Chain A
Amino acid sequence: MTRYLRLLRLFFRAELQYELEYRLNFVLEIVETAVVTATSVGAVLILFSYTTVLNGWDLGAMLVLLGCFYLVQGFGEFALQPSFEKFLENVRLGTLDFALLKPASPQFQVTLRYFRVAQLAQMALGAVVVAVGLSRIPAIGLAEAIGFPIALICGFVLIYALLVALSTFAFWFVRVDNLMALYWSFMDAGRFPVDVYPGWLRVTLSSAVPIGVAVTVPAQVIAGRLDPLGLGFLILGTIAAFILASRFWRIGLRSYTGASA
């Protein structure tokens, strides 16, 4: 375990050094993130200029939700998207061999190898938006304060598990980048509470594409709107999703053949 943490720190440092070589690019990426977040907050403010409550979510809770959206999406773009993009490329080119030959878990090496450090800014901005939203919510109990990070981590892991499962198809079909692009665009739906969507879409967003759960549930927890039972289900579901996805990935890996070999 400590070995893996050390590896993770090493990967992160390498990526940070790499990105700092392109300083202007780094700064521009952060500015872009700030513009994106600001315009999204603007969109919520426009909606709330016509109402004080949206399906039971007031402006404070809604901002918390939007903040969670950027925390989760930022996590995806910071820690997951870069590695999964490289993974698909490696499968196509047959260069996945190099990762498989190294003495560590292949899944770990493949899926957590690359980072886009500038996207940490997106998570930070998400946290700021959450804080602004919280300042409008009267009081936060101890249970909420503990439950929130747990729910958020569950959200991260759920997104990770789904990406692992989706990317496994690359072992058989090779070109699945469109599938991934579709997934990232579905992510956009997380900016509103999952209960505003009509039935068929809500079911898709909470089961097939768990973005609805990953964003909505943490926001519900901190706003004091979720019971312990719901949180318990989330934790169990997350663990199950992680185990199933990892197992699926290992089955897929058996079909991998180096293209150049």
Chain B
Amino acid sequence: MIRTYRALLVAQLQAASQYRVQVLLWMLFSVIRPVIFLAAWVAVANAQGGQIGTYDVRDFAAYYICLSLVSCLTASWNAYEFEYEVRFGRLSPKLLRPLHPIHYAVVENLVAKLTQIVPLSIVLVFISITFDARFRTTPAHVLLFVPSVMLAAALSFLSGWVLATTAFWTTRVHSVSTFWDRAAFIFAGQIAPLALLPGPLQAISLALPFGYVLGVPAEILRGGVSPSTALLLMAGQAIWLAIFFVAFQRVWRAGVRQYSGVGA
């Protein structure tokens, strides 16, 4: 398995090195939206004398910089490609190989993140200077962030695959992922840090998987929650990851049985 992964990793790295400009452009996607909402919250905080709840302008900056890093590290885009694989029957050859198709996607996903992380860090340092961000991060937070962001990435990846497998039954994955993305827009901590979501929205975001993908790891990295709360939130991440793992295995097995290659 390790040898297989190493071979896939080398192949994907070589493939990725052919599209260097594309790496930079995709990297910007994870920066644009956080910066937009950061600017808006800075304007709101300034209108209110510089403080909203426990956040001041510099805390917002730190939160959205962490969010941008997390959204790069947890990005998953298989739901968009899988529809075509099923519709054009391109999945068929992959199913015949001895390796589960998900492993190719895992490596592709990892390589994309590896290539983006360096340019992204440079952009984020620049933004954190512009907005004068203040991080409350302690070494304990960094230690907790690493497993937390890995859980989040796995959760985002697996939930993306569960969404993608709906392509076996309907060819309109696009609608499904639009609804999913819009729920994430509200509940994942993009439009506001989870702590600032009014009333029931905050409870909903922690009951559903969305908050655990973006908001939770970002808040841990910023140092916005105490280590004990962080552990509790990570338990939530683990629970949702387990749910999606089971769901993925069930849905995949049922879906492959249902699948028939077109044009094969």
| Shortest distance between the CB of B169 and any CB in chain A (Å) | 14
Say yes or no: B52 contacts A50, CB within 8 Å: yes
**Inside 8 A of A185's CB, which chain B residues have their CB?**
28-29, 32
By secondary structure, the B interface counts as helix
Q: Which residues of A contact B21 (CB under 8 A)?
A: 178
From 27 to 64 in chain A, residues with beta carbon under 8 angstroms from any chain B beta carbon are: 28-29, 31-32, 35-36, 39, 42-43, 46-47, 49-55
B104, CB-defined interface residue at 8 Å: no
Given contacts A32-B178, A35-B179, A192-B39, contact A47 B192 (CB under 8 A): yes
- Within the complex, which residue of A24, A31, A55, A191 is in contact with B47, where a contact is CB–CB below 8 Å? A55
B39 near A198: Cβ-Cβ < 8 Å:
yes
A188-B36 contact in complex given A35-B179, A43-B186, A43-B191, C-beta closer than 8 Å: yes
- Give chain A interface residues in 195-233, CB to chain B under 8 Å: 196-198, 200-201
Give CA–CA (A42, B183) in the complex, Å.
11
The proximity string for B residues 145-183 relative to A, scoring 1 for CB distances below 8 Å and 0 otherwise, is: 000000000000000000000000000100100110010
Q: How far is the CB of A229 from chain B (nearest CB, A)?
A: 26
| Contact between A39 and B182, CB atoms less than 8 A apart | yes
Q: Is the CB of A189 within 8 A of B52?
A: no
Task: Kindly list 17 other residue pairs between chains A and B, CB separation below 8 angstroms, not including A47-B192, A198-B39.
Answer: A24-B172, A28-B172, A29-B175, A35-B178, A35-B179, A39-B182, A42-B191, A43-B185, A43-B186, A43-B191, A43-B192, A47-B44, A178-B22, A185-B29, A192-B36, A197-B39, A201-B39
Please, which residues of chain A bring their CB within 8 A of the CB of B178? 32, 35-36
Tell me if B95 is interfacial: C-beta within 8 Å of chain A: no
Residues of chain A at interface, number, CB under 8 A:
35
Nearest chain A CB to B226 CB, angstrom units:
24
* Cβ contact within 8 Å between A32 and B186: no
Q: Is A181 an interface residue (CB 8 A)?
A: yes
Residues of A within 8 A of B33 (CB): 188
- Once the chains are docked, how many angstroms separate the CA of A46 from the CA of B46? 16
Instruction: Find chain B residues with CB under 8 A from A25 CB.
Output: 172
Q: How many interface residues does chain B have, given as a range?
A: 35 or more
**Distance of B51 from chain A, by nearest CB (Å):** 10
B29 x A51 contact (CB < 8 A) = no
Question: What are 19 A-B contacts with C-beta separation under 8 Å?
Answer: A25-B172, A35-B178, A43-B185, A43-B192, A46-B197, A46-B201, A47-B192, A51-B47, A52-B47, A178-B21, A178-B25, A182-B25, A186-B32, A188-B33, A192-B36, A196-B39, A196-B42, A201-B35, A201-B39
Q: Would B39 and A46 count as touching, CB distance under 8 A?
A: no
Asked if B196 CB lies within 8 Å of chain A CBs, one says yes
Is the Cβ of B32 less than 8 Å from the Cβ of A198? no
The reply to whether A47 and B40 contact each other, CB–CB distance below 8 Å, is: yes
Which residues from chain B contact A51 at a C-beta distance below 8 Å? 44, 47-48
Which residues 36-76 of B have a CB within 8 angstroms of A? 36, 39-44, 46-48, 52-53
Complex formed: what's the CA distance from A189 to B37 in Å?
A: 9
Q: How far is the CA of A46 from the CA of B52 in the complex (A)?
A: 12
- Digit string of B194-231 for contact with A (CB within 8 Å is 1, else 0)? 00111001000000000000000000000000000000
Q: Which of B25, B41, B131 contacts A181 (CB 8 A)?
A: B25
Please provide the 5 A-B residue pairs with the shortest distance between their CB atoms, ordered closest to farther: A43-B191, A196-B43, A39-B182, A51-B44, A55-B43
With a cutoff of 8 Å between Cβ atoms, the chain A residues found around residue B44 in the complex are: 47, 50-51, 54
Shortest Cβ distance from residue A174 to the other chain B in the assembled complex, whole angstroms: 13
Min CB distance A196 to B, Å, is 4
Residue of A nearest to B19 (CB): A178
Contact status of A32 and B175, CB under 8 A, knowing A54-B47, A188-B36, A201-B35: yes
Expressed in whole angstroms, the Cα–Cα distance for A152 and B198 within the complex equals 34
Write out the residue numbers on chain B whose beta carbons fall within 8 Å of the beta carbon of A32: 175, 178-179
A181 to B22, CA, bound (A): 11
Determine the chain B residues whose CB is within 8 A of the CB of A35 once the complex forms. Answer: 178-179, 182
Q: Does B130 sit within 8 A of A, measured CB to CB? A: yes
Q: Scan residues 12-31 of chain A and give those whose CB is less than 8 A from a CB of chain B.
A: 24-25, 28-29, 31
- Which residues of B, 65-107, contact A by the 8 Å Cβ criterion? none
Q: Which residue of chain A has its CB nearest to the CB of B198? A: A49
**CB-CB nearest in chain B for A32:** B178
Q: Are A50 and B48 in contact (CB under 8 A)?
A: yes
Q: In whole angstroms, how far apart are the Cα atoms of A182 and B30 in the complex?
A: 11
**Residue in chain A with minimal CB distance to B28:** A182
- Alpha-carbon distance A42/B7, docked complex (angstroms): 47
Q: How far apart sit A39 and B28, CA to CA, in the bound complex (Å)?
A: 23
Chain B residues with CB under 8 A of A46? 191-192, 196-198, 201
